[in-house]
Amino acid sequence: MNSLGNNRQLAENKLILLYIIDKLEIPVSNLQMTKIILENKIMNYFLLQQYLDELRESNFLSSEQFEGKTLYRITDNGKQTLNYFTNLIPASIRAVIDDAIPSAKSNIRNELLVTADYIPESENEFTVSCKVREDKFSLIDLSIAVGTKSDARTICENWKKYSQQIYAEIIESLTRKRD
């Protein structure tokens, strides 16, 4: 491929990343972007990482730290560039991305809004932290001390799978009239 072809491919790949982040409409982590890109066979991992860094350095993307993860957002500069050059992204790739966005968006929202993790305090004590957030508002932030790593893991797994149901049960229990 000649230099013009390489430059076109470079521009196309960067526009694809801007297109995905713009369509998601929510901040996206590096891991989440990697999953979208690789599951849809859009580009390889190493190019993705290079292009994310270059887009951030060029102020087409911004990044912020949230719970130990780097989250990317498209900047106004990135949106303007994307608006001018969206037609450089092949229609077939736009269609693949448009099909993938709804489920990716749902998965990302769930990952950002529902968190569960544990910290060992001693050999027989673990603190489990379970949270549900809506945007930046915390619906519930629960810390529980348990005696085994196995219990801590089980609580984290259950919270991630059943947080809505558990949250509803807690609210119901706390608001029920007692004698």
SS (H, E, C) 92-108: HHHHHHHHHHHHHHHHH
> Could you identify the residue written with the tokens 């990716």?
104
Q: What is the reported pLDDT for 112?
A: 67
Q: What is the reported pLDDT for 25?
A: 85
Q: What is the mean pLDDT of residues 153-161?
A: 90
Q: What is the reported pLDDT for 170?
A: 87
Question: Is pLDDT at 80 greater than 80 in this prediction?
Answer: yes
DSSP string, the chain: --HHHHHHHHHHHHHHHHHHHHHH-S-EEHHHHHHHHHHTT-S-HHHHHHHHHHHHHTTSEEEEEETTEEEEEE-HHHHHHHHHHGGGS-HHHHHHHHHHHHHHHHHHHHHHHEEEEEEEEETTEEEEEEEEEETTEEEEEEEEEES-HHHHHHHHHHHHHHHHHHHHHHHHHHHS---
177 pLDDT band, cuts 50/70/90, is confident
Q: What is the pLDDT of residues 83-107, one digit of tens each?
A: 888 888 889 989 999 998 988 888 7
Q: What is the pLDDT of residues 19-41, one digit of tens each?
A: 999 998 888 888 888 888 888 88
Half-sphere exposure of 176 (CA within 13 A, CB side): 8
CA distances from 36 to 30, 64, 77, 100 (A): 10, 20, 23, 8
**Using CA of residue 24, residue 25, residue 26, residue 30, what is the dihedral sign?**
positive
The one-letter code for the residue type at 28 is V
Highest mean pLDDT among 84-88, 115-119, 124-128: 124-128
> Could you identify the residue written with the tokens 């709804």?
102
Q: What is the mean pLDDT of residues 76-80?
A: 92
Over the chain, what is the mean pLDDT?
85
Question: Is pLDDT at 133 greater than 60 in this prediction?
Answer: yes
Question: Is pLDDT at 75 greater than 70 in this prediction?
Answer: yes
